[in-house]
Copies of this chain bind each other. A is one copy, B any other.
Amino acid sequence: MARPREFDTDKALDRAMGVFWAKGYEGASLQDLLKAMKIARGSLYKAFTDKRSIYLAALDRYEKTEVDEGIDALRNPDGGDGLSRIREMLEDVKGDVARRGCFMCNAAIDRARFDPKVEAKVTAMLWRLQDAIAVALKQSKKGARWSAKRRAATAAHILNTYIGLRVLARSGYPADGLQAIIDASLREL
């Protein structure tokens, strides 16, 4: 019926996500986005209404790729018992040599306060992560004996630890320091 779109929307969004992730919302210019997405201005505005909607779509893309992957790993029994999967999630942060941090955490700081849709998306991702951690906890030796409430609180604590680690990683905190934090955080578990 009409001319088909030439670029792959998901691929373009992955690239836009990379730009917002690195530079933040205000720090990413349309020119940065266009260059990374490899499309022309007009094409972008045919596909998205404005800069904000690209950002929101990039956040969705982050959830569908990065967050879902993390949650899957947390649920995958091949990763050992629940606690070792949780430890693995935290230790993955040490691998962030590019110091990108976590797009969700970055969004929490730079946009959630001003954009209700960003706040809702960030909140939803946080809940999903916390829930997945609670489930992993239930599949650990100690956690299995705990009340659901205690598991929820411990899951929130671990989520909080994860966020801190990703902020520190972005700030340039050394990997061995991150390791010490992980060990201290999980010592009781």
Contacts and interface: CB of A to CB of B under 8 A. Distances in A.
A147 to B, nearest CB: 13
Q: How many copies does the complex hold?
A: 2
A181 B153 contact: yes
A26 to B, nearest CB: 4
A53 interface: no
A177 B165 contact: no
A70 B27 CA distance: 31
A112 to B, nearest CB: 5
A165 B160 contact: yes
A157 to B, nearest CB: 4
A110 B111 CA distance: 12
B170 A167 contact: no
A54 interface: no
Contacts of A152: 180
A187 to B, nearest CB: 6
Interface in A165-179: 165, 167-168, 170-173, 177
Contacts of A110: 24, 27, 106, 109-110
Contacts of A162: 164
13 contacts: A24-B24, A24-B109, A106-B109, A106-B110, A109-B167, A112-B172, A126-B173, A152-B180, A153-B183, A157-B184, A163-B168, A164-B164, A187-B188
